[in-house]
Every structure is written in C-alpha cells, then in structure tokens.
C-alpha cells in the first residue's frame, strides 16, 4: 500500500508529557506507512518512556543528548534536521512550545528545531489550564504565524484528573495529518 509517507524521513520529537507513551504507537504507525522515523527525546520524555522502546520500533538510534552528538564531523542535530521531511512533535508540552516560540536551544530537540527547515507539526498534550494560559496561547500564535501546524489538543479526561482540553490528539489523526502535509509537498 502506497502512502504519502513512503520513504519520507520524519523526525519525531517526544517531550515530557504522560502522553509520551503514545509515541511508541505513533512510531509504529508511521513506519507501517513507509516512513523512516528518527526519534528525539527530551529529558522529561525519558521519565515516561525509554529510548530503547523507540529505538526498537523506529530501528534508528534515539537522540537524547546535545552533547553526545554521534559519529561524524557534523553536529548530530544539524545532520538530522537537514534530512527531515517533517518535524513532528508529539506530545508537545507547554515548555517545548515556549522554547520553540522564543528560539531557545538548550537541548537536542530545541537546537534541532532552530536548524530544521522542514514543515513543523505540533501535537500538544498538557493540563487544560496550561493550554489556555495566555503565555501558551501567545506562543501557539507565534509558531502558527511562522508556519507551524497544530493538531489538537483533544477534549477529555486528563491525567491530572481534570476533564477538558489538553489530551493528545488520537495517533491515527496525527498520522493522517502528517500524510496530508507531506502529500502536498
């Protein structure tokens, strides 16, 4: 079965949300559609899911540390950014959205974001009050104005016990949006 993702290189940024465990299913579904998936995990993401899980599913090394850059002469975050057809952040925390909006580059993922010229798809997952905070709203507006696309969040029961807007969009929907974005390029 042919897909808009066949042969595409997707850098999957995973951040420190309880929804990080869904990155395993997302990686699996993207690979089934023919994409090459290159996971990048923040320190927070590694509290919820291990790099080994994503490495096994992606069949690629997992980038976790800006200061252990790989084997070649080119910095790993630059090399990975240059090969990306899509930068997909799922789940995206309020923290990483703020880092991206303000151009901060303190870790592998945020540094990669500044170098990457591929389309950016962000799937937020956080407490509903964080999502609706004026700072997050402004950061989302800034990134949207720069061309980033957002999918979600979804309304429902949140890990914190609240009900409301903040859940990660369903994995199937994220995959479909990635296909749409890469199908029009």
Q: Which are the catalytic amino acids?
A: 160
| 4 close to 75: Cβ distance less than 8 angstroms | no
For the chain, give the number of residues. Answer: 185
113 contact partners, CB below 8 Å, separation of at least 6: 13, 87, 99, 100, 105, 120
Q: Using DSSP bridges, classify how beta strands 149-150 and 120-124 pair: parallel, antiparallel or unpaired.
A: parallel
- Half-sphere exposure of residue 43: CA atoms within 13 angstroms, side-chain side: 6
- Half-sphere exposure of residue 84: CA atoms within 13 angstroms, side-chain side: 30
User: What is the token pair recorded at 40?
Assistant: 């990048």
Q: Dump the DSSP string for 85-112.
A: SEEEEEEE-HHHHHHHHHT--SSHHHHH
């Amino acid at each position: 079965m042919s897909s808009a993702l066949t042969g595409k290189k997707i850098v999957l940024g995973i951040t420190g949300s309880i929804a990080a465990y869904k990155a395993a299913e997302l990686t699996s579904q993207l690979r089934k559609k023919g994409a090459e998936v290159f996971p990048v995990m923040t320190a927070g993401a590694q509290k919820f899911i291990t790099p080994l899980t994503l490495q096994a599913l992606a069949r690629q090394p997992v980038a976790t540390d800006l200061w252990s850059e790989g084997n070649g002469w080119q910095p790993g975050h630059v090399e990975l950014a240059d090969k990306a057809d899509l930068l997909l952040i799922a789940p995206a925390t309020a923290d990483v959205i703020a880092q991206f909006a303000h151009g901060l580059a303190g870790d592998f993922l945020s540094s990669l974001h500044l170098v990457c010229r591929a389309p950016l798809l962000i799937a937020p997952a956080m407490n509903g009050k964080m999502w609706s905070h004026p700072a997050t709203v402004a950061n989302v507006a800034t990134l949207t104005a720069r061309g980033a696309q957002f999918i979600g969040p979804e309304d429902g029961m949140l890990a914190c016990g609240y009900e409301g807007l903040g859940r990660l969009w369903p994995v199937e929907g994220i995959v479909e949006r990635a296909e749409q974005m890469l199908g029009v390029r």
